[in-house]
């Protein structure tokens, strides 16, 4: 029973982090970051569309991982 709860929490975590990483680089909060105020030489890197796309790509990878885990939910607990 506890394994199923932990599995569900893991899947929710993957989906939540994936959605956050997919959307957040394209919001205004990404551009108005305190880190960019303290380290202005990072601004060019963080505001680069290729870097934002890379972060969004990590988000897509997390979403795919969460979907794959959901699709193989029965197989994981059938063996255990």
Q: Answer whether 36's CB lies under 8 Å from 43's CB.
A: yes
Which pLDDT tens digit goes with each residue over 9-26? 999 999 999 999 999 999
Please tell me the predicted confidence (pLDDT) of residue 79.
65
DSSP structure string for 30-70: HHS-HHHHH-GGGHHHHT-HHHHHHHHHHHHHHHHHHHHHH
Please tell me the predicted confidence (pLDDT) of residue 73.
83
Please tell me the predicted confidence (pLDDT) of residue 80.
55
Please tell me the predicted confidence (pLDDT) of residue 66.
93
Q: Which segments of the chain have a pLDDT < 50?
A: none
């Amino acid at each position: 029973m506890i394994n199923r709860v932990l599995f569900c929490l893991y899947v929710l975590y993957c989906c939540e982090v994936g959605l956050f990483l997919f959307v957040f680089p394209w919001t205004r909060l990404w551009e108005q970051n305190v880190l960019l105020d303290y380290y202005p030489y990072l601004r060019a890197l963080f505001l680069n569309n290729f870097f934002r796309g890379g972060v969004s790509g990590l988000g897509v990878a997390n979403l795919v991982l969460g979907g794959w885990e959901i699709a193989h939910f029965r197989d994981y607990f059938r063996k255990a």
